[in-house]
Amino acid sequence: MLLPVGHSDSCRAVESGLMGMLRIPLDPFNTTTPILILAVAAGHAVQILKRYYEELRALSGRSRRIRVAVSKVGPSLLTAGTIAALSFFSLAAFRTNTIRNFGLLAGFGIVATLLVELTLIPALRAILSALANERSRAKRRVDGSCREP
């Protein structure tokens, strides 16, 4: 639950930082860009995590599950994200600055989303799985030592 939301928030922060760095003022079109990025990022993060949990039942080994999940869902996410980013980048051909800025910001936001979801999400999933396994082992040790003989 927190991983997709955190992922989408980080992508929105990158996109908002890009707007500030390029001194692009807020207007009616680009105020919707963070919401668009949030929707795309959350949707893609959920797809990666769904595939991971499907592999959780089928495979053993944390790193193997992550590799299989990313290798199965990664190409479709990369294709969908690339097409979406290129579609938004095509708006740069418009003469209207507002539409051009919206297209560029949305395109760069989706590219940032792709980079994060194909690198950071699997890495965080591995770290969180390792922490959960360590906690459960520690709990079993404590529970085992508290039993009466």
Tens of pLDDT, residue by residue, the chain (149 residues) = 555 556 566 666 777 777 778 787 778 877 788 888 888 887 887 887 787 777 777 767 777 777 888 888 889 889 999 999 999 999 999 998 889 888 988 898 899 888 888 888 778 777 776 555 555 555 555 455 555 55
Tokens 């990313």 belong to 70
Tokens 């390029």 belong to 22
| pTM listed for this prediction | 0.72
The burial class, CB within 10 Å (0-12 / 13-18 / 19+), for 95 is exposed
The burial class, CB within 10 Å (0-12 / 13-18 / 19+), for 72 is middle
Contacts of 90 (CB under 8 A, 6+ apart): 103
